[in-house]
Amino acid sequence: MKTSPHLSELSSGGFFAQAKFWMKRYLLWPLFPASRPRLIALLGGPGAGKGTVAGQLAPALGLSHVSTGALIRKEIAAQTDFGKQVQALVEKGLLIPDQMALTILKRALLAPENARGAILDGFPRSRAQAVLLDEVLASWGLSLEKIVWLELSEADLVERLSLRRTCTNQSCGRSYHLKFEPPKNAGICDACSSPLFQRKDDATETIRERLRTYSEESTPLRSYYQGTKGGVLVFLNPTNAMTREQVLAQVTNAISSKGERV
């Protein structure tokens, strides 16, 4: 099978870009493994703190923070052709096909600013996505360096999600947490003084249902990675009693450790 060029070199295309890729893959990388782009997946259920940790971890490691959810929202806001296709699916209540999610992720990884590698925030979400991602990375001569799976207790997740509040001003959209990051004035956004509200999917019973769904849907992904990526898979159990700095330290240590099966 023909191997595709990787990361920023694909965005420029052409013979010289591909020749440069082959030289790196077969000459530079074997001699200097540290020159390979680093790709780390950060997984976990709703409220696990993937985005927070990825936002802290990426600059600490000199990598990019890549969230497929954020990328998709950006495409929709910009009304690109891709964004319009995704918006049409969302408005019909349909899930975004795995191949479409992978397409936008590949585009992000090909961007020059992500050439050193990236923290993949919440991707893959399913076994099918994991298989597709492995195939793409293998075709680029790469693989996931580490898969860090954040697993919190249901009680901690419910506390995190049920106490979230969001600004009603859509152009602001700032989020708060009544316990961990409350607004200065109860019920009022610090940034724009608009009222805050609780999203429907942050209601306690809805949260418990989301967690049940996540547990069922993530089981095949968990089994796949335990069977194929045992050496790079690490499960962590942060708690709400831990500070952000403590969780970050735990994740950072895990990245430099050997994977373990659970």
Active-site residue set: 50, 125, 164, 199, 210
DSSP 165-228: EEES-TTT--EEETTTB--SBTTB-TTT-PBEE--GGGSHHHHHHHHHHHHHHHHHHHHHHHHH
Cα–Cα distance measured from residue 133 to residue 143, given in angstroms and rounded to the nearest whole number: 9
Task: Name the nearest CA neighbour of 197 among 153, 225, 233, 163.
Answer: 163
Query: 3-class SS at 43?
Result: strand
Upstream peptide bond of 46 is cis (omega within 30 degrees of 0):
no
